[in-house]
Amino acid sequence: MFSKRYSLLRVSLFGFILTLLLNLLLHGFTDIPSAVFFSIRWRYLWLPIYLTWLILAAIGCVKVFKKQLAELVDELYGR
C-alpha cells in the first residue's frame, strides 16, 4: 500500500480524519460557535474542508481502482 498509486487516497483520508479530529476536539473543549456540528457557522467554516477531502478521496479511489472500474464498465455495457 506504499506505492505512488495510493498516495492521493492516503493523503486525502489522512486529511479528512485530521479535520474530523480537530473539529471534535474544538467542539468538546471550547465554546467556539463554529465547532457546533451543522450550525450555520459550521457550514461556512468546516463543510468546504470536509467536501474538499472527500472529493480528493473519491479521485484517489478512482485512481486506485481504475482497472477494476474499467472491467466493470466493459462488463455492464458489453464492450
Tell me: pLDDT of 1 over 70.
no
Q: Under 8 Å CB-to-CB from 41, ≥6 apart: which residues?
A: 33, 34
What ranges do the domains of the chain cover?
4-77
pLDDT on residue 13: 93
Cα–Cα distance, 12 to 6 (Å, whole number): 10
Tell if the pTM clears 0.85, that is, is over it: no
